[in-house]
Amino acid sequence: MFKDFFLFELKLRFRSISTYVFFLMPFLIAFFAVSTSDFGPIGAGKVFKNGPFALTTIFLQLTAFGSILIAAIFGPSILRDFQEDTYQLLFTKPISKLAYLGGHWAASLVTTVGVFSGLVWGAMAGAFMPWADRTRLAPIHFWWYLQPFLSVTVIQIFFLGSLFFCVAALTRRIVVVYLQGVALFALYLIGLVSVIATNKLERFWPSVFDSLGLIMFQNVTRYWTVVERNTQLVKWSGEFLYNRLVWTGVGFLALLAAFVLFPMSAEVLGSRRSSKHAKEAREEEAAESGRPPRRFGVELPRVTQVFGSATTWKQLLSMTRLRFFNIVHEVPFWAIALIMIVFVLISGHFAGRSNGVEVWPVTYLMVAVVSGQSGLFLVIIGALYAGELMWRERDVRFEQIHDSLPLRDWADFVSKFLALTLVETVLASVVLVCGLLSQAMEGYFRFELGQYAKEIYLIYLPQMLMVILLALFLQTVLGNKFVAHAIVVGFFVLIPVLYQYGIENRLYLYGEITPYTYSDMNGYGHFVRGLFWSISYWISVGGLLGVFAVSFARRGTEQSFASRLKAAWPRMARLTPTATVFLLLGGTSGGVFYYNTHVVNKFRTAEQNRHRSAEYERRYKKYQRLAQPKVTAVDAEVDIYPERRSFSGRGYYTLVNHTDKPIDEVHVTDSRESVEDVNFDRPFRQTLGDKEYFYATYQLDKPLEPNESMRMNFRVAYTSRGFKDGNERPEFAYNGTFFDRDYFPFVGYNQSDEIDDPVRRREEKLAPLEEMAAPGDPYYSNINLFTSDSEWVTFHSIVSTSADQIAMAPGYLKRDWTVNGRRYFEYDMGSTRINNFFSFLSGRFSVKRDQWRDVKLEIYYQPGHEYNLDKMMDASKTGLDYYEKNFSPFQFQQFRVLEYPRYRQFAQSFPNTVPFAEGIGFIERLKKPDDIDLLYFVTAHELAHQWWGHQLIGSQTQGSNMMSESLAEYSALKVMEKKYGEDMLRKDLRYELDRYLRGRGGETRHEPPLVLVQREPYVWYQKGALVMYALADYIGEDRVNLALRNFLEKNRYAKGPYPDTRGFVAALREQTPLDLQYVITDMFESIVLYDNRAVTGSYVETPEKKFKVTLKVSAQKKKADGSGNETPMTIHDLIDVGVFSGTKEHLKRLNLHKEWITQETGTFEMVVDEKPTFAGIDPYNKLIDRNPADNLIEVEKK
């Protein structure tokens, strides 16, 4: 009998069109993920698209997110007999439970494995496509495809399929099967949110119990290099092995539960469910027909029936009420809602956290989190119950009675839509309450109900209604509930894919509204108009889908598409007025949207912008080394119009010819399309004016002689008109304008406008991006790192803004005045020269003022964001004190921090002025003593740039970014150390190490040593911080600081040739003892990795009441190349060993010293005064160790 059930189910499956539709979905996704550069989870870089890491990632993610397909196969296989009422006949036959359940389950397993084999075939086919980027593809290794498919996909199918099958067999309801899928996905999301928010670096147990395997795989491959990702499969060991065993075991338990608990009894199977749905059917019939249902088998007296419009409206209200309560009375609905509430509350608890940094749960943050995290649940509920409502009558075999009732098609459809709308509105309100509860539980009571209401009811809820209308339309037109569910899911997966392929016009992407960001400084600001018209447009389109759905309503026994199409025409004719209304609304809103985004503003896709950058390079790269004068002075008058999100400006540069030859032609790049006019204080003529690529050349009648100067006058402006389809310039806001030098003319060819992504460059048929010049290059040594068209400049500006705002620019305020309702501010740097790196800001600020010695300190902030002002002041004072004492005097008389809207998320150091995003630090909240104080660190880092970047500028050669960013990181770490102590930095250093090791796996070129770093932020930030801090530990903080002081004194305000890393390393070596010179070689000039491990640890109590600790360690040292290939090295290194008391999170140092490690294993004895709990090697992670978690071990008493 097993064979009969198995073959029958298998043949039935492979005769169904849905099986082949399901197969195509993973096939196509894997196909495009491998064959194209834009699509898939791998993205850019050097990782092979068909390598073992990429294939495992693709298979794992698509299996996890394709769980709806697994549910759609396993669930109906056991439910079909109950839906078709054949179970009553089957169960009278002598069939065994094992044969019945086993046959259905095995056939479902084979079908699902066949469906998901599309991943293998799609990925393999994609590798052979002629358009595929051959540099991102490896030769075909069949085991790379088969191993992840077996170890990831098949095991996942077995586990999920068994669970779905068990639940379907025991509950006999497909909606409960889908609920189970939602619950599993929610558990994964809860784990993911908690892992990301807390950024726990030890993730063994979250990995083992990750039901979908995504956290587990990310953890196992966390520090894999490019070469490892391209050659290694995940080994069956550690977290991977335990995870697979755990969830395979859960799958077997589910099968055992199904076999033990499944009753082969017709009475038990159907009695309660049948009676419940029979009651619902009677109530629905009564509501639709307008007469009361039977009670106790008695036909109630009939009355005269009237089927006019009043009756129709009563039916509509009655059906809406009935269907709404039918949904909310169901256990599955409340189960999904409960899961959503738990998930939203947990997400609210972790709102805004990253890398262990806590923040205050301000309303804009909480609204974004609770709406974003609950959105998936509302989409699922809307799509799922749209299917249940559309198929309810057919599922209980009531459709013929239903279809014969005197109920208008539109009333039937609208009642379903309204019922779902009420459901979504209730859930949206629950989400709102969850947001308030989350804030209250976090001790935050500044509730902003208005903002909640706008976000939830005016933006969030309409998007859910779009989903409902699409789902109802698909469920009506298609003849398969599960295919419709899959298409709804596929539709929302497809939209991000379309973006990546250049289809970015939101007029064509269903339900896509203009992107927006709420800011405490600016509210919804300039996003309001785009939101209103895009939401109006898509609601109108959804209304049209509803009209089509009504026209194709399923009534009667004729269900073929041809017969329904024939019946649709007369219905459509009756609905023409309604369709016309939606067409007018959609046409009007779509027209306004199109006019603003395509006529008033230029619409360009990311691909078009990339083409323009490529063409700019093709046309004008030849001028890159053309001799040009340098900017030595800037004088500007800028008028900011916050209410219009616009500005205009005029001014001049002083240009000096520092070459040894006359210059007769000046080239100008207009990177931001803002330069309106350029002229000179001598006769000239324009020889090129390329408006398309914003490049112009000017022939001077009289050449500019060597060391001669001239004035270049300019006019610049940016005017915001209407609204855009995304890509709104974030620099300009009603409150919080912040733009910089990019909006002013750039003299010469601007290399920063080039495409730097290697993949994109190949697509544009551009040569590989040039390597930065080596230190000492005769040409680039005379160009500074930040502004290749400039030298140190004098700066003067007059800035105007609205009467209620403060305008700001670098320099000292000379005067301010008001004329004609506008405020004017004059700033002048006097004789102090600055980097030609300036910004202009305007906002309605409150100001906190303080002073450090003769330096004025000011923080310009949004009222209500006072949480951390004192801390920012303290960081500024501590930083100024440390930097002046150890490096050089502060060159300015003021230091200012200014808050700007969170449309961008960074802080940036301009001369004596630091714009600071409202989302970084201003709402930080330290709950525990060992929480990472990001705000303190960032403030100290940006202040340090006043030395490293505004006193010292390196040449435009390899390694110069280290002399800016690495030194700012080191300086900030030292300020943090003065504030919180060395022991508190252990967590900071561990996070720096984590980010560096992860960054190596995403390398797009090759990893360089620190002294040759080019475009690798993870090297100059994270590795630079670790290396500089470790060097100070090895040779002493005073020696490092003396080297920095000497190097800075020698190169402060240097002009060409600018300093490079040769002189910097020489300064460090000068202060480093001979026996520690290897430290500089390993850390700065090479890529050296360690694998230090505490093997065993024990202690005994001595007669003197002290504790003798014995620690056995292992230490290995390797040298890596730029791709991550490692070569063992002989170890002869000085490394920390130590003993601690306390917990692993709160260690108390008892003994910490350095030992020379000359063998791969060694044993050390230390005597301490307190009872020890931990001992280890390199416990503070000062060395680059790929397995830092095993450096400490718990010591045991002998």
**Alpha-carbon span 641 to 1139, nearest angstrom:** 62
Q: What is the pLDDT of residues 1001-1025, one digit of tens each?
A: 888 889 999 999 999 999 999 999 9
β-bridge pairing 790-802 and 630-641: parallel
Listed range (337-351, 479-493, 950-964) with the worst mean pLDDT: 479-493
CB 56 within 8 A of CB 148: yes
**Alpha-carbon span 33 to 41, nearest angstrom:** 8
pTM of the model: 0.89
Residue with the bigger pLDDT between 910 and 84: it is 910
Question: What pLDDT was estimated at residue 1048?
Answer: 97
C-alpha dihedral sign at 175, 177, 181, 186: positive
Q: What is the pLDDT of residues 701-717, one digit of tens each?
A: 999 999 999 999 999 99
Q: What is the pLDDT of residues 501-512, one digit of tens each?
A: 778 889 999 999
CB 1113 within 8 A of CB 1137: yes
Residue 287 has pLDDT above 60, yes or no: no
Residue 270 has pLDDT above 50, yes or no: no
Residue 5: its H or E element: helix 2-15
**Alpha-carbon span 108 to 154, nearest angstrom:** 12
Amino acid at residue number 1046: N
Q: Determine phi and psi for 827, rounding to 5 degrees.
A: -120, 140
Q: What is the pLDDT of residues 320-329, one digit of tens each?
A: 999 999 888 8
Question: What pLDDT was estimated at residue 148?
Answer: 94
**Alpha-carbon span 1033 to 64, nearest angstrom:** 46
β-bridge pairing 1088-1101 and 1196-1197: parallel
* Mean pLDDT computed over 14-36: 89
Q: What is the pLDDT of residues 896-925, one digit of tens each?
A: 999 999 999 999 999 999 999 998 888 888
Residue 71 has pLDDT above 90, yes or no: no
**Alpha-carbon span 464 to 482, nearest angstrom:** 20
**Alpha-carbon span 618 to 907, nearest angstrom:** 33
Q: What is the pLDDT of residues 2-16, one digit of tens each?
A: 888 888 888 988 888
Q: What is the pLDDT of residues 304-313, one digit of tens each?
A: 566 677 878 8
Question: What pLDDT was estimated at residue 95?
Answer: 83
Residue 1186 has pLDDT above 50, yes or no: yes
* Mean pLDDT computed over 475-486: 82
- Residue 389, Cβ density class (10 Å: 0-12 exposed, 13-18 middle, ≥19 buried): buried
**Alpha-carbon span 191 to 183, nearest angstrom:** 12
Residue 269 has pLDDT above 50, yes or no: no
3-class secondary structure, 442: coil
Residue 459 has pLDDT above 80, yes or no: yes
Listed range (277-286, 856-865, 985-994) with the worst mean pLDDT: 277-286
Q: What is the pLDDT of residues 385-412, one digit of tens each?
A: 898 888 777 766 666 676 667 778 788 8
Percentage of the chain beyond pLDDT 70 is 93
Q: Determine phi and psi for 1054, rounding to 5 degrees.
A: -65, 140
Q: What is the pLDDT of residues 1079-1131, one digit of tens each?
A: 999 999 999 999 999 999 999 999 999 999 999 999 999 999 998 999 999 99
Q: What is the pLDDT of residues 969-1007, one digit of tens each?
A: 999 999 999 999 888 888 888 889 999 999 998 888 899
Residues 6+ apart with CB under 8 A from 975: 875, 878, 879, 882, 936, 937, 940, 944
Residue 363 has pLDDT above 70, yes or no: yes
Residue 1051 has pLDDT above 50, yes or no: yes
Which string of DSSP letters, residue by residue, matches 213-238? Answer: SHHHHHHHTTT--HHHHHH-PPPSSH
First to last CA, the chain: 63
Question: What pLDDT was estimated at residue 272?
Answer: 47
Report the mean per-residue pLDDT for the chain: 89
CB 988 within 8 A of CB 936: no
Apex 473 CA angle, 472 and 478, nearest 5: 105
274 pLDDT band, cuts 50/70/90, is very low
Residues in the chain, overall count: 1198
Q: Determine phi and psi for 819, rounding to 5 degrees.
A: -140, 130
CA distances from 551 to 201, 567, 807 (A): 57, 8, 59
Q: What is the pLDDT of residues 546-560, one digit of tens each?
A: 999 988 887 766 666
271 pLDDT band, cuts 50/70/90, is very low
Whose CA is closest to 991, among 937, 946, 954, 1035? 937
Name all domains of the chain by residue range, CATH numbers in brackets: 2-173+202-264 (no CATH), 267-292+308-600 (no CATH), 623-719+730-753+790-834 (2.60.40.1730), 770-787+949-1086 (1.10.390.10), 837-925 (3.30.2010.30), 1087-1198 (2.60.40)
Q: What is the pLDDT of residues 754-799, one digit of tens each?
A: 998 888 898 899 999 889 999 999 999 999 999 999 999 999 999 9
